[in-house]
């Protein structure tokens, strides 16, 4: 694995997003926040309201038709649901055969071999798994490239995604479902934990607004310590935990409730679901 952050986008490439939903919005926002000119981004989405919001928020050109969005683009970012990706690719296959694009997919589960086949057999495909903090430039993206992607394509895909946060290349495509289960879905695990902590705070009598602020700031502070201190989570946890103190009482309750096994089960379930999405939509 090699990991990087914040490479500049090389060349004068035009990027078409197919699908303008949550993930495309996060990536477009991250790219524009990182200084990419809005004119270099086209987005296709069937939703009138989705397109209007993207135009208003980011100044990008939008299209109802994917074929129009990719017409001038040499990089195609596939940001539709896994369930519709096959139809989208097959609709663009003639164009992809004539003018082979670099395809960057963010779809969970769907393999590079599937995308290459659906696009007519020639496309250079980088399968990626970003996450929604990309919108803030704090994303995490795993990347895997098929054999058709050359060094320039890898550099370009990495630059594209690193404009929205950190990146890590994965050598074995089988592990991309594990990446999805850890960092792709991971923000939702943290949000669920935040919901549970807020509810617990309110149950202990704290006002709702104070409970929300305490949880937000505690997670932010802990995340910053994790990423900025250079220390392992075990060590950071040890320093909070006074012998026979309050933290120890809480941590013993988490351990007794099987938190570690529960997290392992949840990550395994997400990985299995990625594999199912590939098989079910082939």
Ligand X SMILES: NC(=O)C1=CN([C@@H]2O[C@H](COP(=O)(O)OP(=O)(O)OC[C@H]3O[C@@H](n4cnc5c(N)ncnc54)[C@H](OP(=O)(O)O)[C@@H]3O)[C@@H](O)[C@H]2O)C=CC1
Residue 21 found at the interface with ligand X (CB under 6 A): yes
Q: Is the Cβ–Cβ distance between 243 and 252 less than 8 Å?
A: no
Residue 33 found at the interface with ligand X (CB under 6 A): no
In DSSP notation, 213-260 reads HHHHHHHHHHHHHHHHS---HHHHHHHH--TTSHHHHHHHHHHHTTHH
- The candidate with the shortest Cα–Cα distance to 45, out of 32, 58, 30, 31, is 58
Beta carbon of residue 128, minimum distance to ligand X (angstroms, whole number)? 8
Piece of the chain touching ligand A1CAB by CB under 6 A; list 60-68, 147-155, 178-186, 245-253 = 178-186
3-state secondary structure of 35: coil
Considering CB under 6 A, how many residues would be counted as binding ligand X?
A: 27
Beta carbon of residue 178, minimum distance to ligand A1CAB (angstroms, whole number)? 12
Residue with tokens 């303008």: 20
Structure tokens at 173: 């495509």
In DSSP notation, 115-134 reads HHHHTTS--EEEEEE--GGG
Between residues 111 and 185, which has the closer beta carbon with respect to ligand A1CAB?
A: 185
Q: Which does 221 bind (CB under 5 to 8 A by kind): ligand A1CAB, ligand X, none?
A: none
Between residues 112 and 185, which has the closer beta carbon with respect to ligand A1CAB?
A: 185
Pick from 53, 71, 84, 100 the residue near ligand X by CB under 6 A.
84
Residue 124 found at the interface with ligand X (CB under 6 A): no
Q: Which does 149 bind (CB under 5 to 8 A by kind): ligand A1CAB, ligand X, none?
A: none
Residues 89-118 as x/- pattern, contact with ligand X by CB under 6 A: -----------------xxx----------
Residue 32 found at the interface with ligand A1CAB (CB under 6 A): no
Taking the chain, what is the end-to-end CA distance rounded to the nearest angstrom? Answer: 28
Residue with tokens 């320039």: 152
Q: How far apart are CA 131 and CA 142, in angstroms?
A: 10
Residue with tokens 């195609």: 76
Q: Is 82 annotated as a binding residue?
A: yes
Residue 44 found at the interface with ligand X (CB under 6 A): yes
Q: Is 23 annotated as a binding residue?
A: yes
| CB proximity list for 106: less than 8 A, separation 6 or greater | 23, 27, 77, 78, 79, 128, 129, 130
Supply the angle between the helices 259-280 and 82-98 in degrees, to the nearest 10. Answer: 50
Residue 180 found at the interface with ligand A1CAB (CB under 6 A): yes
Piece of the chain touching ligand X by CB under 6 A; list 41-49, 111-119, 164-172, 203-211 = 41-49
Pick from 62, 111, 141, 185 the residue near ligand A1CAB by CB under 6 A.
185
| CB proximity list for 114: less than 8 A, separation 6 or greater | 86, 278, 282
| Binding-site positions | 18-23, 79-82
| Binding-site positions for NADP(+) | 18-23, 79-82
Site residues (CB under 6 A) for ligand A1CAB? Answer: 108, 180, 184-185
């Amino acid at each position: 694995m090699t990991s990087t952050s914040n490479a500049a986008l090389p060349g004068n490439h035009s990027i078409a997003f197919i699908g303008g939903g949550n993930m495309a919005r996060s990536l477009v926002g991250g790219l524009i926040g990182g200084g990419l000119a809005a004119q270099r981004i086209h987005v296709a989405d069937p939703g009138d309201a989705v397109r209007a919001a993207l135009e208003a928020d980011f100044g990008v050109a939008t299209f109802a038709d994917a074929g129009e969005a990719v017409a001038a683009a040499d990089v195609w970012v596939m940001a539709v649901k896994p369930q519709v990706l096959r139809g989208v690719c097959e609709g663009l296959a003639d164009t992809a055969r004539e003018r082979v694009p670099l395809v960057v997919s963010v779809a969970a589960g769907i393999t590079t071999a599937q995308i290459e086949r659906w696009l007519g057999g020639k496309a250079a495909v980088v399968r990626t798994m970003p996450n929604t903090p990309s919108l803030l430039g704090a994303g995490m993206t795993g990347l895997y490239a098929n054999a058709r992607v050359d060094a320039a394509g890898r550099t370009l895909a990495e630059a594209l995604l690193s404009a929205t946060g950190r990146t890590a290349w994965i050598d074995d495509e089988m592990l991309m479902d594990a990446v999805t289960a850890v960092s792709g879905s991971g923000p939702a695990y943290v949000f669920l934990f935040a919901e549970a902590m807020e509810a617990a705070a309110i149950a202990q009598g704290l006002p709702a607004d104070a409970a929300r602020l305490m949880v937000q700031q505690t997670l932010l502070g802990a995340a910053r310590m994790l990423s900025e201190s250079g220390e392992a989570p075990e060590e950071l946890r040890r320093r909070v935990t006074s012998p026979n103190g309050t933290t120890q009482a809480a941590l013993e309750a988490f351990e007794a409730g099987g938190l570690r096994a529960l997290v392992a089960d949840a990550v395994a379930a997400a990985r299995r679901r990625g594999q199912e999405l590939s098989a079910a939509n082939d």
